[in-house]
């Protein structure tokens, strides 16, 4: 269980502490502490002596000790399912920026979609006394999160919600986003539309699928069987979906994908089978990761305002940490359809990404 490793390795002598600094400066340890925390009651001359002693000794304050005594932490946790997924990388970037702004460190937990691992990470973060946790749960059923929220532990859900958990959250309206996407496709004349799922256990995949069905109904498109294909939010999973797609009969003329990675992988798979986008199949993604806007891609998608979500998440977290027992606040941002070229709605004289000329 105890695999911790020494903070001061073999050769190194023990780090200097504030007492040694005090001795060096000829003051009490309490005074050093006062200088460190910028307490007003320190004479300019002593402050100077202390600062010199700090410099001379190479003293580095121990945050662990400080946190232990103050019960305040300068660390938060970020739990995501896959940091190599552009969406989460961009989220991590934005959240780190926000955290830095607030003088907070971020412990990154990459669950790889593993339920047990997510639980373990959460527990570990709590043991580490993080001030709070921002989590995009790998699964809609994640009981341990509910327990933490119940204990009034500061948790903010982001992007993905969790069943039976009422906590602060920042999400977009996934259902209406998917409906907008279907509406867009329908308006372009498509009536055979496929949906490529993400990881089925996530709230995002579920909600987007609901929106897909609702969108079909709203557009008066009859339901077809077999038009929902499995995916897993990964490029490779979506490539397999593309294979399945090509053998559908009648083959849909459009596909709504559970996220942009899925859309990209799906298009990769289509291209591999000689099918063009949007000619043979219109494609809509979800997220609007940076890659989606590049010229060779120009993916029509539902936008998630990632930076804004990170900003709001941090705001909720800090509010929760400082606040009294506030009611949970769920922020649902509107889902915006970004029309680019993969549905043919906009003409785009696209060459190839890496064209064989």
Contacts to a second copy from residues 290-349, by CB under 8 A: 290-291, 294-299, 318, 320-325, 341-342, 348-349
Q: Work out which of 9, 10, 40, 250 binds DNA, going by CB under 7 A.
A: 40
- Minimum distance from residue 36 beta carbon to a second copy (Å): 8
Q: Work out which of 220, 223, 327, 354 binds a second copy, going by CB under 8 A.
A: 354
Q: Is 61 in the site for a second copy (CB under 8 A)?
A: yes
Q: Residue 12's binding partner, choosing from a second copy, DNA, none, with beta-carbon cut-off 5 to 8 A by kind?
A: a second copy
Q: Is 223 in the site for a second copy (CB under 8 A)?
A: no
Residues 326, 110, 304: CA angle, nearest 5 degrees: 60
The CA radius of gyration of the chain, in Å to the nearest whole number, is 26
Q: Residue 304's binding partner, choosing from a second copy, DNA, none, with beta-carbon cut-off 5 to 8 A by kind?
A: none
Q: Work out which of 15, 102, 150, 326 binds DNA, going by CB under 7 A.
A: 15
The Cα–Cα gap between 244 and 265 comes to 13
Q: Residue 247's binding partner, choosing from DNA, a second copy, none, with beta-carbon cut-off 5 to 8 A by kind?
A: none
DSSP run (H or E) holding 298 = none
Q: Work out which of 108, 115, 228, 248 binds a second copy, going by CB under 8 A.
A: 108
Q: Is 70 in the site for DNA (CB under 7 A)?
A: yes
**x/- map, 146-185, a second copy, by CB under 8 A:** -----xxxx-------------------------------
Q: Residue 6's binding partner, choosing from DNA, a second copy, none, with beta-carbon cut-off 5 to 8 A by kind?
A: a second copy
Here the tokens at position 239 are 């490539």
Strand partners, 88: none
Q: Is 89 in the site for a second copy (CB under 8 A)?
A: yes
The Cα–Cα gap between 37 and 34 comes to 5
Residues shown for the chain: 357
List binders of DNA among 330-349 (CB under 7 A): none
# of chain residues touching DNA (CB under 7 A)? 31
- Minimum distance from residue 17 beta carbon to a second copy (Å): 11
Q: Is 73 in the site for DNA (CB under 7 A)?
A: no
Terminus-to-terminus CA distance in the chain, angstroms? 58
What dihedral do alpha carbons 236, 301, 184, 188 form, nearest 10°?
-60
The Cα–Cα gap between 138 and 145 comes to 12
158: three-class secondary structure by DSSP: strand
User: Which DSSP symbol is given to 128?
Assistant: T
Q: Work out which of 24, 34, 76, 111 binds DNA, going by CB under 7 A.
A: 34
The Cα–Cα gap between 96 and 87 comes to 14
Q: Is 124 in the site for a second copy (CB under 8 A)?
A: yes
Q: Work out which of 52, 55, 56, 68 binds DNA, going by CB under 7 A.
A: 68
Q: Residue 339's binding partner, choosing from a second copy, DNA, none, with beta-carbon cut-off 5 to 8 A by kind?
A: none
Widest CA span of the chain, in angstroms? 86
Comparing CA positions, the residue from 31, 15, 14, 12 lying closest to residue 23 is 31
Q: Residue 105's binding partner, choosing from a second copy, DNA, none, with beta-carbon cut-off 5 to 8 A by kind?
A: a second copy
Comparing CA positions, the residue from 234, 203, 199 lying closest to residue 332 is 203
Q: Is 61 in the site for DNA (CB under 7 A)?
A: yes
List binders of DNA among 87-106 (CB under 7 A): none
Here the tokens at position 283 are 């494609």
Q: Work out which of 116, 127, 220, 249 binds a second copy, going by CB under 8 A.
A: 127
Give Cβ neighbours of residue 186 (< 8 Å, ≥ 6 apart).
193, 215, 219, 221
User: Which DSSP symbol is given to 157?
Assistant: E
**Residue numbers at the binding site for DNA (CB under 7 A):** 14-15, 17-19, 26-31, 33-34, 36-37, 40-43, 45-47, 59, 61-62, 65-66, 68-71
């Amino acid at each position: 269980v105890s695999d911790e490793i020494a903070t001061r390795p073999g050769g190194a002598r023990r780090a200097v502490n504030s007492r040694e600094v005090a001795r060096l400066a000829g003051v009490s340890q309490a005074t050093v502490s006062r200088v460190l925390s910028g307490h007003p009651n320190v004479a300019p001359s002593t402050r100077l002596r202390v600062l010199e002693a700090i410099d001379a000794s190479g003293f580095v304050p121990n945050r662990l000790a400080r946190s232990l005594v103050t019960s305040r932490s300068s660390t938060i946790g970020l739990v995501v399912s896959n940091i190599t997924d552009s969406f989460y990388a961009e989220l991590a970037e934005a959240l780190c920026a926000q955290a830095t702004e607030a003088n907070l460190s971020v412990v990154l937990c990459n669950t790889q979609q593993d339920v047990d691992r997510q639980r373990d990470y959460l527990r570990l973060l709590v043991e580490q006394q993080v001030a709070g946790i921002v989590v995009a749960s790998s699964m809609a059923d994640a009981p341990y999160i509910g327990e933490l929220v119940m204990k009034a532990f500061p948790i903010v859900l982001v992007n993905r919600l969790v069943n039976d958990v009422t906590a602060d959250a920042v999400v977009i309206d996934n259902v209406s986003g998917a409906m907008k996407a279907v509406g867009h496709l329908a308006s372009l004349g498509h009536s055979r539309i496929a949906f490529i799922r993400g990881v089925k256990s996530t709230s995002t995949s579920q909600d987007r699928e609901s929106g897909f069905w609702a969108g079909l109904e709203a557009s008066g498109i009859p339901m077809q069987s077999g038009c929902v294909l499995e995916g897993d939010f990964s490029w490779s999973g979506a490539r397999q979906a593309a294979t399945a797609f090509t053998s559908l009969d009648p083959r849909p003329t459009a596909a709504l994908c559970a996220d942009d990675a899925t859309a990209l992988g799906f298009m990769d798979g289509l291209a591999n089978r000689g099918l063009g986008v949007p000619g043979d199949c219109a494609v809509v993604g979800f997220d609007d990761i940076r890659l989606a806007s590049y010229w060779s891609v120009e993916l029509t998608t539902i936008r998630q305002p990632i930076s804004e979500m990170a900003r709001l998440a941090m705001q909720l977290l800090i509010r929760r940490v400082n606040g009294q027992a506030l009611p949970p606040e769920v922020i649902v941002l509107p889902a915006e359809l970004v029309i680019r070229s993969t549905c043919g709605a906009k003409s785009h004289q696209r060459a190839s990404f890496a064209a064989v000329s």
